[in-house]
Amino acid sequence: MAAPPLLFLRDVKLTFGATPLLTAASLSVGFGDRITLVGRNGSGKSTLLKIAGGEIEADGGEIFVQPGATVRYLPQEPDLSAYASTLAYVEAGLGPGDDPYRATYLLECLGLTGTETPASLSGGEARRAALARVLAPEPDILLLDEPTNHLDLPAIEWLEGELKSLRSALVLISHDRRFLQNLSRTTVWLDRGITRTLGRGFLHFEAWRDQVFEEEERDQQKLDKKIQAEEHWMRYGVTARRKRNVRRVDLLADLRRAKREHRGPTGAVKLAASEADTSSKLVAEAKRVSKRFGDRSIVEDFSIRIGRGDRVGIVGPNGAGKTTLLKLLTGELEPDAGTIRRGETLDMQVLDQRRASLDPAWTLSEALTDGKGDSVVINGQSKHVIGYMKDFLFSPEQARTPIGALSGGERGRVMLARALAKPSNLLVLDEPTNDLDLETLDLLEELLSDYTGTVLLVSHDRDFLDRVATSVIMSEGDGHWTEYAGGYSDMVAQRGAGVAARALAAAEAKPAPATSRPAERAETRAKLTFKDKHALETLPKTIAALEAKIAAERKRLDDPGLYGRDPAAFEKAVAALGKLAEDLAAAEEEWLRLEMLREELGG
C-alpha cells in the first residue's frame, strides 16, 4: 500500500465576487513527487497553490497536511521590505537544525552577495532572493509559482539541477516547457474550476488535453441529439400514461439544464499580424562592430548579415549585452567602431520586456487604439476595439480598466495586441514569453512561423527558441558573439555546451572559498587515509541498513488507521522517516565522494 500523501486538497471551492474560480479542485502530494500544475491564465493555478501553502483560505473542501511536514511557497511577487538585507531575508526562512551555510551558498549561486538592501533590488533580484529562501531549508514540499520568471538561461539550468538533486516534493507552475518537461512526472490540469490528473510528465500533457477536448465535444454532440429527440417526442409523440409523460418532461428539463451549465473550453487568443509592404532582401548587415560602456566591452568585432524572413535569436546570461546588441542592429544605438547597413523600407514594431511603452494611466481601449477613436485597423480591415479585445481574451467590461490594474499576463497580451495591430515587416521581440500562458505561446509560435517578415528575438525560453529561431547569436563572454545555425538545442550541439555549462566552468576555475568544508578539500589529497578506506568498506552496509529501516517506517505509515489510533506514534514515525532519509542521503553522498576520489587516485 502506498504511503499516505504529505499534503492533499479535495474538492476545494473558492468564489471571487459572483464568479466561482475553483469548484472541485484537488491536489495530492506525496514523498518525492514532481508535479506540474497547468492551466490558462486566470484559471486559478496561483490561487490553488496559495491555498496549498496556507496563504489564503478556501470557501470549502478538505485540506490536510501531514503533522511535521514542512512546506515552502514561492510567490510571484515576494515582499522583502521587513528585512535589512537579502541574507537576513533568506536566513529568516530557515528552521531549527537547518544549515545556515546553504543561505549564503544559494544566494551566491543566484548572483547575489547577501548584502543587498531590499529597496535597491529589481524585480528579478527579489525573485532570486525568494528562491534562495524557499530552497535553503530543503523542505518536504516546495510550491513554486513561476520560478523561472526573470531568470536568465544559466540560472534556469542551474535551478533545474538544484531541484533534481533535492528530495523535496515539487509542485511547479511555469510557462517554460523545457523546464516542466525536465522536472515533472505528474501533470495536474486546472480547467474551468476543476482538476484532472495525468500520471505522466508535461511532455504528454498537450496530446492528453486535446483528447479530453475531443471527447467533451463528442459528449456535447450526443447531448444535443438527445435533446432534439426528446423535443421531437414532446411535439409529435403519442400521448402515453401521465406518469410516463411527466418523467419524459423532467428528463428533457434535466438535459437542457446540463446544456446550459456546461462551460466549454476557454477561448483561444486570436493572433494575426498586420504586415507592411515587403522589405528589401537585406534587413541588416554589421561589419566588425564594437560597442563599449566605460571600460567594459559589450560587443567586440562582431559581423553578421540578416536577410528578409530570418528569425534570429539572441541568447546569453543577464548583463551580457543582449538588449544592447539588439539596439545596435535596429539603429537605436550607434556603434563605437565598425559599420551597420540597414535595408530600405523597414517597418519595425518592438515588444520590449519592460512593457515601457504602456502608460499605466491608459485604459485598455486607449492602449489598443492609441486614444484615437474606437476602432483598430488590421491588414487594412477596420475592427471595433471591443471585438479586438475579445480576440485577446479580454471582456468588454475591461475596456475602461487602467493598464496599471492588469496582471502581468494581461499586460503581455496588451503589448502583443498593440505590436501586431501595426503594419510591420520587422518584429523585434525582447522577452516576449514573460507571463504568457502555454496556449498563447503556441499561437505566438504559429504566427511567427507564418509571418513573412523578419524577427529579432531575445529570449531565455529554450523551447520557444527551438521552435522559432532559424539562427542563434550566442554571447561567448568579453563582448564576443557568435552566430549558430538553428535553434537553442542546435547551438548547444555545435558548441558542445550551453550558456549554463560555460558559466559553471568559469565558476569551477575559481579557487575554492575559505568557507569550503573539509569534505570538499579532501579531493586535493594525494592518497586515501585509513579512515577513508574504512568508510569505503563500511558505507555500503550502512546504506543497506538505512534503506531497510526506511522500508520498515514506511510500512508502519502504510497503516491507514495509525493516525486515528495513536497520533503521537504517527508523528514519531514521520519524524523518524525524515531523519533516516537525511542520514541515507549523507551516507550516499559520502560514499560517492570517496569512490570518485579513489578512482581519481588510480584505485
User: Residue ranges per domain, the chain?
Assistant: 7-207, 213-261, 267-347+423-510, 360-417, 518-600
pLDDT at residue 385, as a whole number: 81
Average pLDDT over residues 443-463: 84
pLDDT at residue 586, as a whole number: 76
Q: How far is CA 242 from CA 228, 230, 236, 239, 247, in A?
A: 21, 16, 16, 8, 9
Tell me which of 3.40.50.300, 1.20.1250.20, 3.30.70.270, 3.20.20.80 is the CATH number of domain 267-347+423-510.
Answer: 3.40.50.300
Consult the annotation and say whether 42 binds a ligand: yes
Average pLDDT over residues 498-503: 48
Consult the annotation and say whether 245 binds a ligand: no
pLDDT digits (tens, 9 = 90+) for 157-193: 889 999 999 999 999 999 888 999 999 999 999 988 8
> What 8-state DSSP symbol labels residue 437?
-
For all residues of the chain together, what is the average pLDDT?
Answer: 80
| 143 touches 74 (CB < 8 A) | yes
Consult the annotation and say whether 379 binds a ligand: no
Q: What is the pTM of this model?
A: 0.66
Average pLDDT over residues 435-440: 73
Consult the annotation and say whether 41 binds a ligand: yes
Is the pLDDT assigned to residue 577 strictly greater than 80?
Answer: no
| 495 touches 476 (CB < 8 A) | no
Tell me which of 1.10.287.380, 3.30.1370.60, 3.10.20.30, 3.30.160.270 is the CATH number of domain 518-600.
Answer: 1.10.287.380
pLDDT at residue 265, as a whole number: 55
pLDDT digits (tens, 9 = 90+) for 325-360: 988 998 888 999 999 998 888 888 887 655 556 677
- Confidence at 450, pLDDT banded by 50, 70, 90: confident
Same fold, 7-207 and 518-600: no
Consult the annotation and say whether 372 binds a ligand: no
Consult the annotation and say whether 39 binds a ligand: yes
Report d(CA 319, CA 308) in Å as an integer: 29
- Confidence at 575, pLDDT banded by 50, 70, 90: confident
Consult the annotation and say whether 193 binds a ligand: no
Q: How many CB atoms lie within 10 A of CB 451?
A: 18
Closest by Cα among 47, 11, 3, 44 to 27:
11
| 9 touches 48 (CB < 8 A) | yes
Consult the annotation and say whether 341 binds a ligand: no
Using a pLDDT cut of 70, give the percent of the chain over it.
80
Is the pLDDT assigned to residue 523 strictly greater than 60?
Answer: no
Is the pLDDT assigned to residue 273 strictly greater than 70?
Answer: no
Of 17-31, 78-92, 564-578, the poorest mean pLDDT is in 564-578
- Confidence at 85, pLDDT banded by 50, 70, 90: very high
- Confidence at 483, pLDDT banded by 50, 70, 90: very high
| 50 touches 220 (CB < 8 A) | no
pLDDT digits (tens, 9 = 90+) for 373-401: 788 877 667 888 888 887 777 778 788 88
Residue carrying the nine cell digits 518584429: 427
Is the pLDDT assigned to residue 81 strictly greater than 80?
Answer: yes
Instruction: State CA 235 to chain mean position distance.
Output: 55
Average pLDDT over residues 363-371: 82
- Residue 566 — φ and ψ, nearest 5°? -150, 85
Q: Coil, strand or helix: which one is 5?
A: coil
Consult the annotation and say whether 321 binds a ligand: yes
7-207 placed in CATH 3.40.50.300? yes
pLDDT at residue 152, as a whole number: 82
- Confidence at 243, pLDDT banded by 50, 70, 90: very low
Residue carrying the nine cell digits 496556449: 439
Consult the annotation and say whether 425 binds a ligand: no
Is the pLDDT assigned to residue 205 strictly greater than 70?
Answer: yes
Of 43-57, 145-159, 301-315, 326-340, the poorest mean pLDDT is in 145-159
Is the pLDDT assigned to residue 517 strictly greater than 60?
Answer: no
Consult the annotation and say whether 61 binds a ligand: no
Burial of 140 (0-12, 13-18, 19+ CB in 10 A): buried
Consult the annotation and say whether 323 binds a ligand: yes
Closest by Cα among 141, 194, 201 to 7:
141
Average pLDDT over residues 241-248: 52
Report angle CA 436, 499, 473 to the nearest 5 degrees.
75
Consult the annotation and say whether 309 binds a ligand: no
- Confidence at 511, pLDDT banded by 50, 70, 90: very low
Consult the annotation and say whether 318 binds a ligand: yes
Which ranges of 188-241 would DSSP assign to H, the alpha helix?
A: 205-236
Of 238-252, 363-377, 528-542, the poorest mean pLDDT is in 238-252
